[in-house]
Copies of this chain bind each other. A is one copy, B any other.
Amino acid sequence: MTKAKYSSELLSAAVEEFSSLPGIGERTALRLVLFLLKKEKDDAQRFSSTLKDLFDNVRFCKRCFNISDSDLCSICNTTSRDKQTICVVENIKDVMSIEQTQQYNGQYHVLNGVISPMEGIGPGDLNIDSLVQRIGGEDIKEVILALSTTMEGDTTNFYIYKKLLPTNVKVTVIARGISVGNELEYTDEVTLGRSIINRHLFDNANNK
């Protein structure tokens, strides 16, 4: 994009910033910036100041590495949650996804990625050592591994499992199988095959 395209350099710069966002092309960027310009000046300025606030002040929880406004995130800080279970996830988005299910009431630990030799990410780049330290320091009964069901996720699962073996903590992994609502006919064969291997006793309470 040439800077001289619009009659305002300020506009060009703002459009360029918006176009750098994923999935936002130049046309959409222009539409968004013009929309903000049409707003009341206070509203528009609040938009930029809210972002500035976030970038200046955002922190990550010292304990679980979730996004936070203070040293400890709201999940670590609350007393109403189970303190003896840690759910290990790849990133803060996964924390949000699991929280939305409202099926989990324990702690989290955000790895900030998975082991991926292809991308040059080794165990040292992830928050794994701090997880091991937590198991040693806190009274933890169970670690739930909730990583992606990819080769990298499986590798990371196995690495963490081996690391935690000496601590004798119970290590579980989230269930893999056919998605709720899916028909067998349209399920890929690997998932279907695994779901047969991992079959379990019929339990009416869980069969929903």
Residues of A within 8 A of B (CB): 4-11, 13-14, 17, 20-24, 28, 30-37, 41, 44-58, 61, 66-69, 73-75, 92-93, 95-96
Contact B7 A67 (CB under 8 A): yes
Q: List 24 A-B contacts (CB under 8 A).
A: A4-B74, A6-B67, A7-B75, A8-B67, A8-B73, A8-B74, A10-B57, A10-B69, A13-B50, A14-B50, A14-B51, A14-B54, A17-B50, A23-B28, A24-B32, A33-B54, A37-B55, A41-B55, A44-B51, A47-B51, A48-B51, A48-B52, A51-B51, A52-B52
Q: Give Cα distance in the complex from A66 to B56, angstroms.
A: 34
Q: Kindly name the residue among A37, A41, A48, A55 whose own CB sees the greatest number of chain B CB atoms within 10 A.
A: A55
Q: Which residue of B lies closest to A57 (CB)?
A: B10
CB distance from A181 to the nearest CB of B (A): 20
Q: Which residue of B lies closest to A61 (CB)?
A: B7
**Known contacts A8-B69, A34-B93, A93-B30; A55 and B48 CB within 8 A of each other:** yes
Contact B32 A21 (CB under 8 A): yes
Q: Kindly name the residue among A4, A7, A32, A92 whose own CB sees the greatest number of chain B CB atoms within 10 A.
A: A7
Provide the residues of chain B in CB contact with A37, threshold 8 Å.
Answer: 54-55, 58, 67
Provide the residues of chain B in CB contact with A46, threshold 8 Å.
Answer: 17
Contact B17 A47 (CB under 8 A): yes
Contact B7 A36 (CB under 8 A): no
Provide the residues of chain B in CB contact with A20, threshold 8 Å.
Answer: 47
Q: Which residue of B lies closest to A55 (CB)?
A: B44
Q: Give Cα distance in the complex from A42 to B145, angstroms.
A: 34
Q: Give Cα distance in the complex from A52 to B133, angstroms.
A: 43
CB distance from A121 to the nearest CB of B (A): 14
Provide the residues of chain B in CB contact with A96, threshold 8 Å.
Answer: 5-6, 30
Contact A21 B36 (CB under 8 A): yes
Contact B10 A36 (CB under 8 A): no
Q: Give Cα distance in the complex from A69 to B10, angstroms.
A: 7
Contact A35 B22 (CB under 8 A): yes
